[in-house]
Amino acid sequence: MTRMKKLTAIFVFSVVMLVSCKTAAVSDFNKIQQIIKSNTWVLQDESGSVYGFNGQEVTMNFIEDNGLQAAGFAGCNNYFSGVELYPDKITFTQPGSTMMACPDMDGENAFLDLLTQVNDYEIVGSEFNLYKDKIILMRFRAK
């Protein structure tokens, strides 16, 4: 094989591999979006036990409503937040909530504050983990 044919073959092979990788990444992201949007997520502690405030589970659902939205129960109030989801990051806008008063609002307030700090995520089996940079902030599992 001549040198030019070898270079052409290597170039064609490289382009095919790059296109294949990009297609797989898009396909994987579509699967990830489907997993995230099709589950109700329940907050859990480090040991995997359900974690809540005021004796109630903290939950998160994702819905398409003028863009992607997160909504759920924060332990006393229902909350909602805009979401930007990409293959390599996720962000939440400042959440809004109903205005019920409960005996202990500290946990709920901390949860809502942490949402605004999230900038990364991963799906591992039935778990949905939210990070700030490389530090895990919250762990959820599919309900």
CATH classification at residue 118? 2.40.128.270
Whether the CB-CB separation of 36 and 123 falls below 8 Å is answered with yes
| Residues 53 and 113 both lie in one domain | yes
- Which tokens go with 127? 């778990």
3-state secondary structure of 70: strand
Q: What's the number of domains the chain is made of?
A: 2
| Residues 88 and 130 both lie in one domain | yes
| Residues 47 and 30 both lie in one domain | no
Tens-place pLDDT, residues 26-70: 569 999 999 999 999 999 998 888 888 888 899 999 999 889 999
Tens-place pLDDT, residues 56-105: 899 999 999 889 999 999 999 999 999 999 999 999 999 999 999 988 89
d(CA 116, CA 105): 17
**Predicted pLDDT of residue 103:** 86
Among candidate residues 94, 108, 98, 129, the one with its CA nearest the CA of residue 57: 108
Quote the pTM value: 0.79
| Residues 25 and 60 both lie in one domain | no
Widest Cα–Cα separation across the chain = 80
**Predicted pLDDT of residue 16:** 31
| Residues 133 and 93 both lie in one domain | yes
| Residues 5 and 47 both lie in one domain | no
| Residues 69 and 108 both lie in one domain | yes
**Predicted pLDDT of residue 47:** 87
Tens-place pLDDT, residues 1-33: 554 343 333 333 333 333 333 333 556 999 999
| Residues 70 and 126 both lie in one domain | yes
| Residues 5 and 45 both lie in one domain | no
| Residues 27 and 65 both lie in one domain | no
Element (H, E) at 9: helix 3-38
**Predicted pLDDT of residue 127:** 96
Among candidate residues 111, 101, 116, 89, the one with its CA nearest the CA of residue 32: 89
Whether the CB-CB separation of 130 and 137 falls below 8 Å is answered with yes
**Predicted pLDDT of residue 27:** 65
Containing structural domain, residue 28: 1-38
